[in-house]
Amino acid sequence: MTDGETAWLALKEEFTFGSGLIPMNAANMCPPPRQVIDAIEAANRSVDADVSFHNRARYISLRETVRGAVARLLDGDPDEFAIVRNASEGNNILAAGLALGTGDEVITTDQNHPSNAWAWEAQAARRGFTVTNLTLPPNPSGSDELFAHFEGAITSRTRVLAISDVSNSTGVRLPVGRLCRLGRERGIHVHLDGAQTMGAMRLSMHELGTGSYTASTQKWLMGPREGGVLFVRKDLIPGVQPAVVSLGFSDPADPGHATARKLDMLGQRNEGVMAGFAAALDFVERIGIDRIQARVEALAARLMAGLREIPGYRLVTPSAPGCSHGVVVGRFEGIDHEKLHDRLYHGHGIASAPTGGLRLCAHIYNPIADVDRVIRAVAAARGEI
């Protein structure tokens, strides 16, 4: 497809939400395109009509198809990907599965998603290691300042750096490539919560060299709810123990369990989710991840520029080049942002989030006209509450 506005308007027709609603909450949940909805419904109808092992066997094969498609999207080896239920589960599998104990340190940040903070704290309380929660600079001048902040916090005890590559609460984008290299140089496992990047930007697990990465399907990938991935770098897989042992798991020393598959033996799965996951990957592949990334960046830039013009609005998301992507957070001093969030929905048909103030996230189903309408609505709603 071309990148003209007419093409993006045509793409919007592949979604089922009407003109009365503007979804601007991709950091939490995206509407899926019709092909995803149809795939989920068809799989569920099929299984409900025929619960035999014979009928359900094809969905076991489909999981491997999904694993391969995820590996293409994220540029890794299929054996390095576990198919899990969301990023929160992936974060918890990592936190529980790594060998950590007394004297070890895990560094998190104050802008992580809670599941990539609390999971480590819960494990620390049980196993005796320490979690250091790093406060990030509120308005970084650029990626150099962010990198230096992490570099200065690392100690000889640091074993894990657990971060969100793009924060859901502020929109800050961390210099994860440099941080992954730093981790490899110092023997530190870098774990990325990529809930705000899978499906929104081109990523290469091989180039990053990250220790692990996890993401959900219902966000920027525009896929089903309760779908996700957990990547673990091949050389680190033996050191991550499964949180759940179920059918298909025997001896951890068996060569068949030297892959990330040992981390997704979760028992009976929802076949509709797997079918929807495959359809979402196909949809993104058809459009092209580079086009998606460029569109997300363009929409976010237009949104930030327009919101800055509203009197009293303060952008929380960093404005320095390379320090944000897709997630736009801002605040009005002295305003109840829960009420603003409610007014935008009930009065203007805009789905936002009261996270860090007011969070707005445009995606490829939002034409430029939507972004401009949202800017006008925020300015109006500010005076209506």
CA distances from 100 to 38, 108, 186, 242, 262 (A): 44, 15, 16, 14, 20
**How far is residue 163's CA from residue 141's CA, in Å, rounded to a whole number?**
19
Q: Are residues 239 and 307 in the same domain?
A: no
DSSP per-residue string spanning 184-240: HHHT-EEEEE-TTTTTTS---HHHH--SEEEEESSSTT---SS-EEEEE-GGGGGGB
**Residue 35 domain-assigned?**
no
Q: Are residues 248 and 347 in the same domain?
A: no
Instruction: Output the CA angle 24-27-28, nearest 5 degrees.
Output: 90
Partnered with residue 232 across adjacent β-strands are 212
CA distances from 27 to 164, 182, 303 (A): 12, 28, 15
Q: Residue 231 sits in which domain range?
A: 40-285
Q: Are residues 209 and 309 in the same domain?
A: no
CA distances from 348 to 311, 340, 372 (A): 19, 11, 13
4: number of Cβ within 10 Å? 9
Q: Are residues 273 and 337 in the same domain?
A: no
Q: Are residues 296 and 276 in the same domain?
A: no
164: number of Cβ within 10 Å? 29
Length of the chain: 385
12: number of Cβ within 10 Å? 15
Q: Are residues 319 and 218 in the same domain?
A: no
**How far is residue 219's CA from residue 86's CA, in Å, rounded to a whole number?**
10
User: Which amino acid does the sequence have at 347?
Assistant: G
Q: For residue 162, with 0-12 CB atoms within 10 Å meaning exposed, 13-18 middle and 19 or more buried, which class applies? A: buried
How does pLDDT run along the chain (385 residues), one tens digit per residue?
457 899 999 999 999 998 789 999 999 999 999 999 999 999 999 999 999 999 998 888 899 999 999 999 999 999 999 999 999 999 999 999 999 999 999 999 999 999 999 999 999 999 999 999 999 999 999 999 999 999 999 999 999 999 999 999 999 999 999 999 999 999 999 999 999 999 999 999 999 999 999 999 999 999 999 999 999 999 999 999 998 888 766 555 555 568 999 999 888 889 999 999 999 999 999 999 999 999 999 999 999 999 999 999 999 999 999 999 999 999 999 999 999 999 999 999 999 999 999 999 999 999 999 999 999 999 999 999 8
Q: Are residues 271 and 309 in the same domain?
A: no
- State the residue for tokens 């499964």: 242
Cβ–Cβ under 8 Å, residues 81 and 104: no
Considering the entire predicted model, what is its pTM? 0.95
Q: Are residues 312 and 378 in the same domain?
A: yes
The torsion of the CA quartet 43, 45, 48, 53, rounded to 10 degrees, works out to -40
pLDDT for 38: 98
**Residue 44 domain-assigned?**
yes
Cβ–Cβ under 8 Å, residues 106 and 120: yes
pLDDT for 1: 46
91: number of Cβ within 10 Å? 29
**Residue 34 domain-assigned?**
no
Return the closest-CA partner of residue 274 out of 77, 48, 54, 44.
44
**Residue 179 domain-assigned?**
yes
Q: The domain spanning residue 20 has which CATH number?
A: 3.90.1150.10
**Residue 33 domain-assigned?**
no
Q: Are residues 271 and 296 in the same domain?
A: no
**Residue 32 domain-assigned?**
no
**Residue 196 domain-assigned?**
yes
Q: Where does a domain end: 285, 313, 329?
A: 285
**How far is residue 378's CA from residue 355's CA, in Å, rounded to a whole number?**
15
Q: Where does a domain end: 241, 265, 285?
A: 285
User: Which amino acid does the sequence have at 230?
Assistant: L
**Residue 194 domain-assigned?**
yes
N-term to C-term CA, the chain:
42
pLDDT for 3: 74
Q: Are residues 54 and 21 in the same domain?
A: no
Q: Where does a domain end: 246, 262, 285?
A: 285
Q: For residue 381, with 0-12 CB atoms within 10 Å meaning exposed, 13-18 middle and 19 or more buried, which class applies? A: buried
Q: Are residues 133 and 213 in the same domain?
A: yes
Tally of structural domains, the chain: 2
Q: The domain spanning residue 56 has which CATH number?
A: 3.40.640.10
Helix extents (H) in 219-367: 271-287, 289-308, 337-348
Q: Are residues 23 and 127 in the same domain?
A: no
